[in-house]
Amino acid sequence: MDGRVTGFTTQRALLAELSLNSVEFFGCDLSGLRWRDSKLSRVTFTGCELLSSAWEDITLESVIFEECKLDYATFTRLRT
């Protein structure tokens, strides 16, 4: 909760059952990330690469993607 993640890099990682509140991801490479069964509230992604990421059963409340690359990203059963 309430923080900033800078320069984080993943390859084929799985994030599941997370609850993030007031977090900023800045300049992260989250390509190939699988994210499921989670809730993101007031989260900002700035200058991040989310290429081929897969988002499943995610709740997004006040989430912003600013200057991000979302090529080939998939969103399944998304609640906003």
Structural domain tally of the chain?
1
Name the residue range of residue 33's domain: 3-76
Quote the pLDDT of residue 71: 97
Tens digits of residue pLDDT in 10-24: 888 999 999 999 999
Mean pLDDT of the chain: 95
- For residue 70, which phi and psi values (nearest 5 degrees)? -120, 25
Q: Are strands 3-6 and 23-26 parallel, antiparallel or unpaired?
A: parallel
Tens digits of residue pLDDT in 30-69: 999 999 999 999 999 999 999 999 999 999 999 999 999 9
Residue 36 and residue 45: Cα distance in Å, rounded? Answer: 17
